[in-house]
Structure 1
Amino acid sequence: MSEPTAFLLAMLAIYTLPWLLWRAAGQRSWLPLVVVQIVGGVLAGPAVLGAVFPDAHGALFTPGVLGALGGIASWAVMLFVFVAGLELDLPDAWANRRDTATTAGLALIVPLLIGAATAALVMRDSVWMGVGAARWQFLLGVGLACAVTALPILLLFLERLGILRSPLGQRILRYASLDDLIVWALLAVILVDAEMLGRQAEFATLFALATIAARRLFARANERDRIPLALMWLLVVALGADWAGLHYMVGAFLAGSVLDSDWFGIPVIDEWRDRILTLLMPVFFLSTGLRTRWEMGGMDVIGVALALLAAIVVGKRFGVLLAARILGWAKGEARLIGWLLQTKALIMIIFANIMLDRGVISPTAFTALLLAAVLSTMLAMPMAQRAIAARDADKG
């Protein structure tokens, strides 16, 4: 089989099989297409398809095909993370700073601590930690992965529930946005390399100066020029972050977070996110699946994934419940918000990819985090629907 043929067959499988499965499942609200695509990527990886049909798997996913898919996946996730950064609304968070800081802080700190403690208890074997990683990096990284919320998936769920543009929906977005900003900042701390501190300090200084210039440029540019300028800005910052020893995805998020969404418009950003999810991200999901390995952890991977899932659910819900008690929320809001903030898929998987690339976690730990992310996201929608039904019944 020639490499172009193998590449086209791989692309056909990527875009066809998950969609058919999703349609066959009736497009369930608790099973968004992105989750089916992630699971499909796992099934197509060496853990399942490669184990059952090793010859066919090797013939389809040749080194050349994997290289081509990897390039598309890297560009897809850079664009996706950049848009996630654009979706941060820091001025709105500042205007409601007491509510936002209290809720986002507790919704971050509690699952982070519980996740790190869980990792310390169930991931004692060296098979879980990346080669050369310090223990504090590993524990903090796993804790942060348990605390992150997938803002783009949260937007999708809020839209399906009909509360995206409501005051409650905007509050939830504020909490998730601030949490994600802090998580990405702490990830940069984890990735700091003592041997590259000079470069990283230089990058931080240059990025601050470049941000001032970029904001002036975007403010003055006309609408037609802002999109190509945004792509140039994204690539420059990603290259700078990678040069400094940080991951290029950290640079992509930073590049988006310092720009104002008003310069592009919410409808345009929504369209970008939808197009990236439809056209490019399925390739990233397959690439993620191809990195999923079970052989080193066996059934322990599932046990650790379930332990991490428990830490995620308990941590987010307890953190939000504490915020509700402090701030005096209406009855039922803590339950609804606590479940919606469980949306982990995509951002948690991207986060785990970065830690795997930088040697903070092992492939086995990556697999456990991926499973926990998928399960958490699948729980979010049905439990949120129950919370809304219970709240409406109380009001009635």
Structure 2
Amino acid sequence: MPLSESFLLVLVAIFLLPWLVWRLINADQWAPLVVVQIVTGILLGPGIAGALWPAAHALVFTPQVLTALSGLAWWAVILFVFLAGLELDMRSAWASRRDTLTTATCALLMPLALGALVAWLLWRWLPGFEGPAASGLQFSAAVGMACAVTALPILMLFLQKLGVLRTAFGQRVLRYASLDDVAIWAVLALVLLDWERLGRQLVFLAALWPLALGVRRWMPSAKAPDRLAVALIWLLLMSLAADWAGLHFMVGAFLAGLLLDAEWFGHDWLDTSRELVLMLLMPVFFLSTGLRTDWALGGQMVFAVAGVLLVAAVVGKLAGVGLAGRLLGWQAGDAWRIGWLLQTKALIMILFANVLLDKGIISAAMFTALLLMAVASTVLTLPVVSRSMQSTPENTLS
């Protein structure tokens, strides 16, 4: 089969199959299309479709096609992580700092601790889930943080679906998730700290702030087309510099967005850009993610580890937010709803896990377990919160 036909056939499958399933089973009631796309990526991977139809899978997913898909997937994720960083409103978080810091800290530390405990036990008693380059501390911290992740873009979709995105309640939840997102990428940078590249990393950090200050001073006075052009150049340079320093290009892309202000581009532009990237490019990344799944340790073992991690993530998040609610005197029911909303993991956790796999911190088996955990936690969120909010008067949400 010619390369162009193979590539286009894969694109047809990427865009057609998830949408068809999503519509046929009316999945919009419990999950956005992006969740079905992630699941489709897993099903099309070598562990399932490749095992059932090895000859057809090898015929379609040739090395040349995989190379082309990888390039598209990298660009998709660079844009998406940049937009995720741009969406974070740290000024709002600082304005309500006592409430935000208390909740974000509790919501982060409890699932992180439980997830790290599970990872440490796996490290000691069940080898095969750690990566070849990981120490016990790195592996435990990385898996623990994966259990604590909240996917801000998917959270925004859920809040919009629930009709509370622009309410005081919705903005509260976004503040908590925003602060945790910053912490997640900071911990990732620490986990990836490479002593052999420490000099490069110091150069990267030393050059980051003066360059960021220069861009921030110039942006407000620039015309709209110039702002966008410079933002894209800034994004690519930051991604390249972070990868050169050994911190992975996703860390650079996130910092590139975080150091800019969304108001320079407008929230309408940001919403439209996020939707376009999710619709046009991210499905390719989801397929690439599915192609990296591995069931070599056995499907039952991978599912078991995913289940244990899911329990650690859910219990830890609910316990952490519950503690914050007690400390801050929240209304009854708020901790339950917010704890579940902050449980949304798909996308950001998948990006996080991809970096860990690239750097050898986790194995392909752990990557698969984390992927399953992320999908399950995200699928559970909307039905649970919807049921809770239906029994709550709208004017009590604050």
What SS does the aligned partner of 2:393 have?
A: helix
CA-to-partner distance for each residue in 1:203-246, whole Å, 9 max, x for gaps?
00111111111111212211222111111010000000001011
Q: Which residue of 1 aligns with 2:294?
A: 293
Structure 2 length-normalised TM: 0.97
Q: Which residue of 2 aligns with 1:248?
A: 249
Check whether the contact 2:108–2:317 (CA below 8 A) recurs between aligned residues: yes
CA-to-partner distance for each residue in 1:93-152, whole Å, 9 max, x for gaps?
000000000000100011100110122224532311110211100000001111110000
1:370 aligns with 2:371: yes
- Distance in 2 (alpha carbons) for counterparts of 1:29 and 1:229: 40
Q: Which residue of 1 aligns with 2:308?
A: 307
Q: Which residue of 1 aligns with 2:44?
A: 44
Q: Superposition RMSD on alpha carbons, in Å?
A: 1.2
Check whether the contact 1:127–1:297 (CA below 8 A) recurs between aligned residues: no
- Distance in 1 (alpha carbons) for counterparts of 2:261 and 2:52: 49
Check whether the contact 2:85–2:254 (CA below 8 A) recurs between aligned residues: yes
- Distance in 1 (alpha carbons) for counterparts of 2:120 and 2:24: 41
Q: Which residue of 2 aligns with 1:271?
A: 272
1:4 aligns with 2:4: yes
CA-to-partner distance for each residue in 1:157-191, whole Å, 9 max, x for gaps?
00010000000100000000000001101100000
Q: Which residue of 1 aligns with 2:350?
A: 349
**Ranges in structure 2 where 5+ consecutive residues have no aligned partner:** none
**Shift, 1:27, TM fit:** 3.7
Count matched residues: 395
Q: Which residue of 1 aligns with 2:166?
A: 165
- Distance in 1 (alpha carbons) for counterparts of 2:118 and 2:270: 37
**Shift, 1:394, TM fit:** 11
Check whether the contact 2:357–2:364 (CA below 8 A) recurs between aligned residues: yes
- Distance in 2 (alpha carbons) for counterparts of 1:72 and 1:217: 31
Structure 1 length-normalised TM: 0.98
What SS does the aligned partner of 2:260 have?
A: coil
Q: Which residue of 2 aligns with 1:114?
A: 114
1:283 aligns with 2:284: yes
**Shift, 1:391, TM fit:** 2.6
Specify whether residues 16 and 318 from structure 1 end up closer, same or farther in structure 2 by C-alpha distance, changes over 3 A only: same
**Shift, 1:359, TM fit:** 0.4
Check whether the contact 2:120–2:136 (CA below 8 A) recurs between aligned residues: no
1:304 alignment partner AA: V
Check whether the contact 1:332–1:390 (CA below 8 A) recurs between aligned residues: no
Q: Which residue of 2 aligns with 1:360?
A: 361
Shifted more, 224-233 versus 9-18: the winner is 224-233
Q: Which residue of 2 aligns with 1:67?
A: 67
- Distance in 2 (alpha carbons) for counterparts of 1:394 and 1:79: 37
**Ranges in structure 1 where 5+ consecutive residues have no aligned partner:** none
Shifted more, 125-134 versus 274-283: the winner is 125-134
Check whether the contact 2:133–2:359 (CA below 8 A) recurs between aligned residues: no
Q: Which residue of 2 aligns with 1:54?
A: 54
- Distance in 2 (alpha carbons) for counterparts of 1:239 and 1:394: 48
1:87 aligns with 2:87: yes
Q: Which residue of 2 aligns with 1:222?
A: 223
Q: Which residue of 1 aligns with 2:96?
A: 96
What SS does the aligned partner of 1:299 have?
A: helix
1:154 aligns with 2:131: no
Q: Which residue of 1 aligns with 2:233?
A: 232
